[in-house]
Structure 1
């Protein structure tokens, strides 16, 4: 109950109240246990055409609303001036508590009373503070015992015991009975991983949330002393969103688990990229909403905090500009989609496979099996070579054959290599280049420039091996020898040996005749 330090009262009971203090004091004073006169307390209320019994009940209900909601009225702060003026409403009125702005005393002529509007709202507020018919317990529980022990009535101790027992039973039902039922059902439908991984983390906070909700409903009925009631109500009002935050956080984990399974079934790798980001966004959203709800449960005014954030927004933006750059970089990655999870990308010093795109950075698994975390602001502003987007994979090499290979054999060999490319199932048939391309330092070099139509690097390596093995078999069959870097030392003139220097005794005219005969043979 609301605690007020009272002075000795005169024998005469006042009927008019010339200040907010007198009106509120009269109402609270004559509803104390040791001074319970509802008819006198009701004189502080605007009566209208209500009967004495109705106005008496409303006076008692108003006191119960204040006590049940944990609102302690500090009489030292109530104005005693008959001309008190509320600058916000621009009227002669005084609001008792910010939790109930509709409850206020107002000046009528020369006296102050709880306003007509406030009296009309008492029934509604009473049902709000005592929902689901719990207001009826206010008439039942006090009959269980009115003797006081250590500042509490016997019925209040019984009420506390009932509340603890109900909480224990609810927790037992949810954490043991319901958990086993859900576990059996999930196992029956093959959801074993879901049951093992998520059931306990979800059921426990849900059970505690229900207990906190029950306590928030029943504690007002106990009509505890002001200090205890105020702090307990604040605590349970904060515990409800606290446990609810844990509960919904775990539900997001379950949602992420199902989204990941659906993404694994889809061929679109964008789903694999979106699932972890959506899960993180939902986690952050749940935590922020939960934090704000907990602050409101403790009756913290969050508007000054938000105002402070807006005033310090510039400083915050300057301090967190790198974080904001990375965040907008991640948005650009999702909008432009330069790569997806599983793509092999190269960008500057980055070379590997994309594993995850987060708020701040992109995780890349290198070919050394190390992990690189690249800030999104960097990778979104850099040139990215996405090897994973290739339609075809190029294979370029040079086949070095010995200089003593006859020209006709070179032609046959080149045609044979072309046929190998045509017959292979994974090569591109409409575009390739296979030609004797260069005279090397120690070999005739045949250029092999072809493309494979395969999805990944492993298949590319397999196709390379198959093509190279077929070329080796062809060379063995035709008698073509592959060259290797060599140097031949030739001595043009040595004792007892034929001179290796060619003898060019033909005239120009004779040489032109030889040229004509060469082309005429074709």
Structure 2
């Protein structure tokens, strides 16, 4: 801020020619003005007004003759002086080369009316109008002088216009003494204001937030915003006070442009910092939820809001600082946007697909999903695509538009994980042993801590080509794939132990040749002890293995 002000001061010594001196560059016109006022054209009326208010040729009563005061009360000379101060305070430069010298000039932008506008952006209500054969400042413009003067010099700063010149009007380096003194006072006040704001922000704000228990938020979020806000307030105050100095128009127009650029720029920076606070708040809310998709959404929202702030801020900087008419730009952008939208249909489709993913939440980060050729674990959800880690450890980037239109099987949302297998036992296994084996299998399921107890199916349900089949259909209540594998391992180990304890033999595809048994020869078919022995074996297994497992 201080560097900017010093650069402005140095520029004063470069620009020494007054803007309004252009109006008296024509010696012939100057000789006519010294005899009176010429209102024959917009050029001559403007020349008459500003030349007669020049400090070397000060005749405010002549300048007042360029005002159409029909229906307007007040001192004509005072109105003329205030109108000049409005031009200077708004930083409007009047260039004679741009003012028409045609007595019959008509403004095409106003429907062919005989009017001339000086600066539609800075002074939209100030214009010359042909009345009879004379060009004058319109009565509409004259009626607004008091309000525009108060708007240009608010909070009583207009009083300084009458106080400061009393310091002295001697010229030094193209500026009068009172202007140089006022400039020095502003520089000193700027440094003092910066010190005061810095003290209040660094000391007062941090102390207050710490007392309230929000020290971290104050130091990392509120302090940067407060510092930028202090600079913004200094710029606003300087823009109001520097108008009083009545600097040369060529210099002041650059100063006004700098101030008008700094204001929207600093406001943009403030809102850019506020986005971090909003994102931190939503981040804290997302941390309280079980869904990890919210954690992915927060940084995307932060980036989108920051991009929006930068876009809107840039438009205001162009409009207010550089006097760029953004309406045709926005109109052209909207027309061009149709063409861009047609050329970027897939991108737009993916963008809206990402919005639907964040709204519907069909999956979250860490879920195992399958959809057509897609099979893997979700790692990241973006605005264009979703990153999925396959079980081959490769990475798939799937457009969100494709996911939004596809059927997605989210294995990560399963409450229970199914385990289905068939236990095959040999054909020589007696029915009584199969019955006890099935009872033991059910007991194993009921005893395991990760199985679903209210629903499972274990039945002797099929006779295949080489085995008697027992359906083993259970569910695990576990959070992930590793836990499911561990539960399967534990169940299968218990099943094998049960089979070994009872003497159950598992079948596999074989061909057996049966030969006639002889009394002196022992057959290959195993001998089973009978039902009492099966029940005793099951009780022994339950008393040893399952009880030990429970312990």
Q: Following the alignment from structure 2 to structure 1, what is the Cα–Cα distance between the partners of residues 388 and 241?
A: 54
| 1:324 maps to which of 320, 327, 348 | 348
Match of 1:140 in 2: 163
When residues 174 and 341 of structure 1 are mapped into structure 2, their CA distance, relative to the original with a 3 A threshold, is farther
Match of 1:178 in 2: 201
Any idea what the Cα deviations from partners look like across 1:51-105, whole Å, max 9, x if unmatched?
6x72212211111111121111111111122222223333211111112221011
1:455-470 to 2 correspondences below 5 Å: 455-457=479-481, 459-461=483-485, 463-465=487-489, 467-468=491-492, 470=494
1:115 matched to 2:125? The reply is no
Question: How many residues are aligned here?
Answer: 498
Where do 5+ consecutive residues of structure 1 fail to align?
Answer: 503-522
| 1:86 maps to which of 107, 115, 140 | 107
Match of 1:31 in 2: 53
Compare 412-421 and 150-159 and name the one that shifted more. 150-159
Contact 2:53–2:59, Cα closer than 8 Å, also in 1: yes
Q: Following the alignment from structure 1 to structure 2, what is the Cα–Cα distance between the partners of residues 278 and 50?
A: 56
Any idea what the Cα deviations from partners look like across 1:271-325, whole Å, max 9, x if unmatched?
5465344333322221121111111121111122223223433432244333212
Secondary structure in 2 matching 1:96: strand
Compare 341-350 and 106-115 and name the one that shifted more. 341-350
Q: Following the alignment from structure 1 to structure 2, what is the Cα–Cα distance between the partners of residues 28 and 171?
A: 38
What's the CA shift for 1:45?
Answer: 0.8
1:47-196 to 2 correspondences below 5 Å: 47-48=69-70, 54-90=75-111, 91-99=113-121, 100-196=123-219
What's the CA shift for 1:429?
Answer: 3.8
Q: Following the alignment from structure 2 to structure 1, what is the Cα–Cα distance between the partners of residues 427 and 203?
A: 82
What's the CA shift for 1:433?
Answer: 2.2
| 1:295 maps to which of 318, 336, 340 | 318
Match of 1:428 in 2: 452
Instruction: Name the Cα RMSD after superposition.
Output: 3.5
Q: Following the alignment from structure 1 to structure 2, what is the Cα–Cα distance between the partners of residues 112 and 33?
A: 24
Secondary structure in 2 matching 1:312: helix
Where do 5+ consecutive residues of structure 2 fail to align?
Answer: 1-17, 526-551
When residues 468 and 169 of structure 1 are mapped into structure 2, their CA distance, relative to the original with a 3 A threshold, is farther
Match of 2:286 in 1: 263
1:247 matched to 2:264? The reply is no
TM-score by length of 2: 0.79
When residues 445 and 153 of structure 1 are mapped into structure 2, their CA distance, relative to the original with a 3 A threshold, is farther
Q: Following the alignment from structure 2 to structure 1, what is the Cα–Cα distance between the partners of residues 514 and 429?
A: 23
When residues 501 and 372 of structure 1 are mapped into structure 2, their CA distance, relative to the original with a 3 A threshold, is closer
1:371-520 to 2 correspondences below 5 Å: 372-399=396-423, 406-424=430-448, 426-436=450-460, 446-457=470-481, 459-461=483-485, 463-465=487-489, 467-468=491-492, 470-471=494-495, 474-475=498-499, 477-480=501-504
| 1:238 maps to which of 249, 261, 285 | 261
What's the CA shift for 1:116?
Answer: 0.7
Contact 2:72–2:143, Cα closer than 8 Å, also in 1: no
Contact 2:71–2:139, Cα closer than 8 Å, also in 1: no
Contact 1:492–1:501, Cα closer than 8 Å, also in 2: no
Compare 269-278 and 388-397 and name the one that shifted more. 269-278
